[in-house]
Structure 1
């Protein structure tokens, strides 16, 4: 039986509409924002429920931020809450990306995009670094074992530029063994679902929408990690295997996902739009996010039922620590790609300083200012 919530379902939906509309920075920033807003500031979600959501999102394939949002909706309002939150979180960025796809095709590319992204990308690094610092200090605490697991995960992510599922599981196992020596090892939650999707290949058709559905369903079902982890998979399919997009179009698609708020994986809608218009965008988004939704909602009751068991809680805590370490490592990866010169570095440092000095400063104002700086640097200076 669910405990009484201190907020209404509509309150939560409104929050995720806002986050999906204004939440820049990809998985690290969005995950940090949910913790700050829902756990610390509003206290709608308990720390334990948040950790369970992080663990489930890390264990199951699909985009990390979207899965965590769906689980937050499930905590007090079940499957309906999860469904409404998922839609509220994804739809705003979907609409924006489709609009940009239309403009991209109408005006032969978006040359101003790189200039805006230059400034926004640098500011986002500062925002993400600030949010990750807060999330790390809250989650990892002062325990030496926790910091060791965090550091290993962060370094591994930074070096390999990917989130390693086996390392996340190993972290959970080590933390579990040290904190609550087990009587029986039973760590299996979450990765054995939807075995039928590979069989979709048996039903070949010449329809481009069907091909899009099959490809993006695989992307949503078999790619682990944050939204950024899906990018190499998409590149191999839409550019190399099928030739749906050119190299430049694919890079533009990733840039669109980064400069728009909401989950980074919404780039699939932009790709689908370029391939087959609005129907292509809808099919690509639905095929990617439906597995993510199912692989969060179906295991959720078991996480809620057994998550308070000391052994399982220790396993979940270890996974959460590794997940936060992976987020910190992802910040380093993003910084290497975005902070390419002195002005970009200065924008990022200034952003961190502003957020440290002015605790209530709206992130959207920083994003807007950084976008203007990017345009000035590229087109005037």
Structure 2
């Protein structure tokens, strides 16, 4: 049986916080890979979290807007340690990568851009495709089994994600409803929805020091709160939204700065959405970084913690379990589809294709190989190959 919120945990909150700090510091690969690491480490290896609790958390994270991996970490903190666990675990997971992007933002501003970043991203982006592909493969094996309905939902979401290059929220809900109607329609019709929608207002906080541009900070806070409250799924989904507001609407950054911001998110560990800290720093310094990060992550925190008690209470009902399984299948389909979307952007020539394939083969052959080792090697390969390959191409 899985560990539930009512059972005695086999780990302390301090142990979970230390794990999340390490994952936030060394966890590369974006939301899909991070979600896979949490399952591997917390469910399979350490057995701190039950598989049912993990699946419920993944389903809730997909149902609610905001960054997938951060919401799952918050939910896993809630499983045994409730609001205190959810809050401290969420901070522990996000804080390391936030500090990294702020440091990179400072370097970017003081040294006139980071020209090496393009070469690093050239290598890292290709390796990340391989890492995410392996994570998607493992999640597919773990969650779908031999259920034909779940496989149909999974395939539909792959196709939609590849064609639209985005995650469509209502399709996750539709996947859950389709599975409910197949497995236990009477329970669904009798119980109604086990879903409570909440809405979070944008925060307006900053570390108040001397000359702070409050109107600009309020704009930043409101914009990034919208990003956190209305964009579903992974960092992939939030990038077009950020581009429209940051570059097109507000003109806070130019095209090159925005591309560099996305590259920073990919070469740093932790959630891809942490690029908001880098963007906020470029726009308004440290206060801007803090407000952008708070605006993005506070809604996702509320959207996870507020429904969590109801999810725990009613999650064992047959209709709710069917709903969760359907949404999980949809989520895994979207994750698998995002591998193709990312590959289209990151695999641009034969060296990057070889690097992606080599990453998959290495992870397949050496199961205990750590992803940071692969990412570091890919970054070095990018620094060496990118200038030579592009010089040769010219």
User: Is the structural similarity TM-score above 0.5?
Assistant: yes
Q: Give the C-alpha shift of residue 227 in structure 1.
A: 2.1
Contact 2:100 2:268 in 1 (8 A): yes
2:222 to 192, 214, 218: 214
* Structure 1 gap segments, 5+ residues each: 199-204
Q: Quickly say closer, same or farther: Cα 1:241–1:188, change in 2 above 3 A.
A: farther
Give, in whole Å, the separation in 1 of the partners of 2:95 and 2:202: 25
Give, in whole Å, the separation in 1 of the partners of 2:157 and 2:51: 21
Give structure 1 regions of 4+ aligned residues with deviation exceeding 4 angstroms.
none
Q: Which residue of 1 aligns with 2:17?
A: 13
Give, in whole Å, the separation in 2 of the partners of 1:26 and 1:315: 26
Give, in whole Å, the separation in 1 of the partners of 2:25 and 2:220: 26
* Pair 1:300-2:304 in alignment: no
* Pair 1:371-2:353 in alignment: no
Give, in whole Å, the separation in 2 of the partners of 1:344 and 1:15: 32
Contact 1:55 1:320 in 2 (8 A): yes
Q: Quickly say closer, same or farther: Cα 1:141–1:226, change in 2 above 3 A.
A: same
Q: Give the C-alpha shift of residue 51 in structure 1.
A: 1.1
CA RMSD of aligned residues (A): 1.5
Give, in whole Å, the separation in 2 of the partners of 1:69 and 1:190: 20
Q: Give the C-alpha shift of residue 144 in structure 1.
A: 1.4
2:233 to 221, 225, 247: 225
Q: Which residue of 2 aligns with 1:326?
A: 334
Q: Which residue of 2 aligns with 1:348?
A: 356
Report Cα offsets for 1:199-241 as digits up to 9, x if no partner: xxxxxx9621111111111111111221221111111111111
Give, in whole Å, the separation in 2 of the partners of 1:71 and 1:323: 16
* Pair 1:180-2:212 in alignment: no
Report Cα offsets for 1:112-159 as digits up to 9, x if no partner: 001011111111111111111011101011121111111111111111
Give, in whole Å, the separation in 1 of the partners of 2:169 and 2:292: 25
Give, in whole Å, the separation in 2 of the partners of 1:175 and 1:100: 45
1:110 to 99, 108, 114: 114
Contact 1:17 1:89 in 2 (8 A): yes
TM-score of the superposed pair, with normalisation by structure 2? 0.92
2:165 to 161, 175, 185: 161
Q: Give the C-alpha shift of residue 183 in structure 1.
A: 3.9
Contact 2:36 2:139 in 1 (8 A): yes
* Pair 1:79-2:83 in alignment: yes
**Residue-pair matches, total:** 374
* Pair 1:128-2:132 in alignment: yes
Q: Give the C-alpha shift of residue 190 in structure 1.
A: 4.5
Q: Secondary structure at the match of 2:264?
A: helix
* Structure 2 gap segments, 5+ residues each: 204-212, 390-394
* Pair 1:69-2:69 in alignment: no
Q: Secondary structure at the match of 2:232?
A: coil
Q: Which residue of 2 aligns with 1:141?
A: 145
1:262 to 267, 270, 283: 270
2:199 to 175, 193, 201: 193
Give, in whole Å, the separation in 2 of the partners of 1:79 and 1:121: 36
Give, in whole Å, the separation in 2 of the partners of 1:285 and 1:206: 16
Q: Which residue of 1 aligns with 2:53?
A: 49
2:250 to 226, 242, 267: 242
Contact 1:61 1:191 in 2 (8 A): no
Give, in whole Å, the separation in 2 of the partners of 1:184 and 1:297: 24
Give, in whole Å, the separation in 2 of the partners of 1:46 and 1:130: 22
Q: Give the C-alpha shift of residue 184 in structure 1.
A: 4.3
Q: Secondary structure at the match of 1:44?
A: coil
Give, in whole Å, the separation in 2 of the partners of 1:192 and 1:291: 10
Q: Which residue of 1 aligns with 2:97?
A: 93
Q: Give the C-alpha shift of residue 193 in structure 1.
A: 2.3
Give, in whole Å, the separation in 1 of the partners of 2:170 and 2:58: 16
Q: Quickly say closer, same or farther: Cα 1:54–1:150, change in 2 above 3 A.
A: same
Report Cα offsets for 1:266-285 as digits up to 9, x if no partner: 11100110011011101110
The within-5 A match list for 1:264-283 is 264-283=272-291
Q: Which residue of 2 aligns with 1:201?
A: none
